[in-house]
Structure 1
């Protein structure tokens, strides 16, 4: 375990071991922090991610810096992060500090310029977000809200909302989610258990096309237990 300590020089193997340990350690920390995409990082998440990246990066490029100290520091920071997250759920003032409430950017077609400055975004950026929602005229916007995660929620005025089957009083089929039950020859056993079926039942469904499950590239199942099998020629 000498590769964790500060040394004058490290062998190639010790550098590799440092990299592997750091990678696994960061994976564990990320698991504790939870999963968010970059666009969904809150202020607190961003600060922690930035600090952790720097703490772990330095021992990976400087043999005179021990990795053990970085791992201890990172662990303490994660404990503080979890504590701060818990406080944000229990303490309103702290939550408002780390997760500021959303504020309105557009209301009934009128830009709220004061809030635009608070969000530190330009009018060009605001209009680019409108174009992503296929909105070419700001007068069609009933409400646009700047969210704490840095995204903009946009709501059209009622007369410009797309028609839905409910608006036209049309009958529709019940929604069913199609999920892969076999992928690259591997059965999703949790899904199979969830629908109350066994492997014998599944083999009967694929039998007309494939003799062995490991030969199936992809098979999906919907809410009505209809199994659809895909062959490689379908791709």
Structure 2
């Protein structure tokens, strides 16, 4: 009966289904405990953790003869070590430099640092490609180029090539902030509406925009400046 956990030579199909469910929920809980990470900011340690966890828990899903208890315990140990290292790095800045790479300056004051490129094992062609991907193909505009700890190259342009902002023009503007979804797929999200107004207020707003019913709206949002956006549910492709 418990072959899905202990393993066996002829584990039934339902056993694999149960194993897959257990592993999925288990990994989900581990990720929630470790905390949210931006996919673009995953460092080498996070990558190694993901590969090891996948290897430990992946094999029992395809080989029914392997018990599940051992891999689950091993994954918990790896997760605890990873969480411990991350926590210790937050508390001990000196130790942080051991497990996290220092940013490497590849270009300073418009000059490409050849030795730093070699240190980072980046060819000139790869460096130029990353600059183009950062919308900085003109080398004369770049002040600094930095290889960050997640492997991406960030670019700081010279002040004379920075985009002009409203503040530079001595003009003030209201911050739009975060947009809140009020209607999604024709359904009013009452919890969000209560944050900015009432249902009656919402209905008046959609009537002002020319809509008779929330069902006609695919999505409606409002930002912190009070500006609303509406996308209708049914729209002609010829528009």
Name the structure 2 match of 1:153.
154
Name the structure 2 match of 1:209.
211
Where do residues 115-126 of structure 1 align in structure 2 (5 Å cutoff)? 115-126=116-127
> What 5-or-longer segments of structure 2 have no aligned partner?
none
8 A contact 2:107–2:145 mirrored in 1: yes
Cα deviation, residue 193, structure 1: 4.1
Taking structure 1 as reference, are residues 233 and 187 closer, same or farther at Cα in structure 2, changes over 3 Å only? closer
> What 5-or-longer segments of structure 1 have no aligned partner?
none
TM-score (norm 2): 0.85
Cα deviation, residue 202, structure 1: 2.8
1:174 is aligned to 2:174: yes
How far apart are the structure 1 equivalents of 2:110 and 2:82?
40
How many equivalent residue pairs? Answer: 232
CA RMSD of aligned residues (A): 2.3
Taking structure 1 as reference, are residues 44 and 193 closer, same or farther at Cα in structure 2, changes over 3 Å only? farther
Cα deviation, residue 111, structure 1: 1.3
Taking structure 1 as reference, are residues 228 and 156 closer, same or farther at Cα in structure 2, changes over 3 Å only? closer
1:94 is aligned to 2:91: no
Taking structure 1 as reference, are residues 87 and 131 closer, same or farther at Cα in structure 2, changes over 3 Å only? same
Cα deviation, residue 3, structure 1: 0.6
How far apart are the structure 1 equivalents of 2:126 and 2:188?
45
Cα deviation, residue 86, structure 1: 0.8
Taking structure 1 as reference, are residues 181 and 33 closer, same or farther at Cα in structure 2, changes over 3 Å only? same
Name the structure 2 match of 1:104.
105
Taking structure 1 as reference, are residues 46 and 108 closer, same or farther at Cα in structure 2, changes over 3 Å only? same
How far apart are the structure 1 equivalents of 2:22 and 2:215?
34
How far apart are the structure 1 equivalents of 2:221 and 2:63?
50
Taking structure 1 as reference, are residues 189 and 105 closer, same or farther at Cα in structure 2, changes over 3 Å only? farther
How far apart are the structure 2 equivalents of 1:125 and 1:173?
40
How far apart are the structure 1 equivalents of 2:190 and 2:84?
36
Taking structure 1 as reference, are residues 48 and 64 closer, same or farther at Cα in structure 2, changes over 3 Å only? same
